[in-house]
Structure 1
Amino acid sequence: MKRDTILKSFQATGVWPMDAEVVLQRFNNHTLEQDKALEIGQHGDGDSWIHLRKLFDAAVADKAKVEAKQLSAAVHSLQTNNDILHTKIDGLRSALLTKKKHNTRSYTMDLHQNEQDTGGAVFWSPKKLRDACAREATKRDEAQREKLQKREAREAKAAASFLKKQHAEEAKAERQRLKEHRAVAKKAAAEERDAARARKKQQQQATTSQKSHDRPNKRTRETSHKVDKIPAKRRRVAAPRSQPEAAPAPPPAPPKSTRTRSIRAPKKYSE
C-alpha cells in the first residue's frame, strides 16, 4: 500500500490529523431542511413561550384588539398545559426506565469449564458454544413446559372449583324445591284434616240437633206412662224389737266337680 493512500485513509477516518467531526458527520443524516423543520416543530415545547410570543408579536399588528388578547391568552394557556404534560411524560419515562433496570437480570452462559489447571488461559471453541446454546435451549424449553403445566393445573383447579360450586348450587336448589314441596303437601294435609274435622263436627251437630228434636216427645210419652203406673203407698209394719234378728244363711257349698278335675270340699263344708 502506498504512503499517499495510507495518509488519505487516516484523514478520511479522522485518525490523523485528529478530527472527530469526520466520524460524527457519518451518523448525522439530517439535511438542512430537516433541521429547520425540526426546529420549527419544537416551537411550543419546553421553555419556548418566549419564541411563541415573538412570533405572535411579529404576526399580529394591532395587539390592543380583543381578538388578539384572546389569542395571546389561549396560546399561553396551551403552552402551559404543554409544559405540564411534558413534565409528566418525562417523569413516567424515568420511572419506566428505572423499573426496567430493576427487572434486568444478568445472563451468563454456562460453558461447563473443565476443572483442569490451564494456567488461567481459557479457550472457547465453536463446539463448546454450540453445546452451551443447546443446554440453554433445553432449559428454556423445560421452563416453558413447567409454566404450561402450572397454567393447566390452575385451569383444572378453577374448573373443579366451578363444578363444585355449580353442584352445590344445584343441590341447594333441589333441597329448596323439596322443602317447598313438603310445605305444600303439609299444608294440603292440614287443610284436609281441618275439612274432615269440620265435616265431623257438622255431622255431630246435626245428630245432636236431631236427638234433641226427638227427645221431648219421648219424655212426654214416658212421663204419661209413669203417671199411670205409680202404685199406691203401703204402710210398713215394724217388727217387735224383743225378738232377736235371724242369722244370715250360710253360703252354698261349692261344686264338687268341674269339667276336667274333681274338687275336694273344705273340711268345714263336709261336716
Structure 2
Amino acid sequence: MKPELIIKSFQATSVWPMDADAILKRFNNHPQKQNEDLAIREHGDGDSWLQLRKFFDAAVANKAKVEAKRLSQSLHSLQVNNELLRDQNAGLQQELDAKGKTKAAKHTMDLQQREEYHGGAVLWSPRKIREARARDAVKRDEAEQQQLQKARDRDLKAAASLYRKQQQEAAKVARQKAAEERRELKKARAAELAAERALKKQQRDAATAEISLNGANTSKRKVSRSSAKNQTKRRRVVGAASRVDAAPEAPPPPTQKTRTRSIRPPKKLAE
C-alpha cells in the first residue's frame, strides 16, 4: 500500500495522528438540526419565561401601567405557544427520523436439534452453526434458482406472446390478400359475364333482324302462293260443278218404311 493510503486509513480510524473530530463526527448525526437550534436560541426563542420576564423588568420602568401589563401577558402567551410548537415539531422530527432509518432484516439461522433422549439443556456447537450455514446456503441457492426459473418463464411467455402476435398478423395479412384476390376474381368474372351478355344480345338482335327480313320475304311468297291456290281451287270447283250437272238424277226417297208405316219427310225437305 502507498503511504498516502496508510495515512488516510489512520485518519479514518483516528489511530494516528490523534484527531478527536473524527470520533465526534461519527456521533454528530444531526449537525444541521443543532445549528438551527443554536440560531433560534440566538434570537431568544429558546429562552424561558423567567428569562423573558427579567428582560421585560429591565426594559420597562413603570410596570403598573395597563399597557405594560398587557405587554407582559402577550409575551407570556407567545412564549407558551412557542414552547408548544417547538415540542410538537420535535416530536414530528423524531417520527420522520425513525421512518427514515431502514431496519435491518433479521435472519434466524436454522439450528436444528437432533432427536435424542437426553436432558433439557441445549448446547449449540460450532458444527451446528456450520450445518445451519450450509442449509442457509442451500436455501439461498434454491431461491436464486427459483428466481432464475421465473425469469426464464417470463422470457418464454413473452416470446410465445410475441410469436402469437406475429402469427396473428401474418394470418390477418393472408386473409386480406385472399379477400383482395377474391374481389379481383369477382370483378373479372363480372366483366366476363357482361361481355358474354353483350355478345348474346348482339347475336339475338342480328337473329331478330334476319328473322324479320326472312318473314317479310316469306309473307310475300305466301301471298303469291295463296292467290295461286285460290285460282286452282276455283277452277276445280267450276269443273266439279259441271261434272255434277252432267250426272244422272238420284231416285226419290222412299215413301214407306214398312208395309204399315209411311215416311213423312221434314217440312224443309218437302218445301
Q: Return the TM-score normalized by structure 2.
A: 0.49
Between the two structures, name the one with larger relative contact order (CA 8 Å, sep ≥ 6): 1
Q: Return the TM-score normalized by structure 1.
A: 0.49
Of structures 1 and 2, the larger Rg is shown by: 2
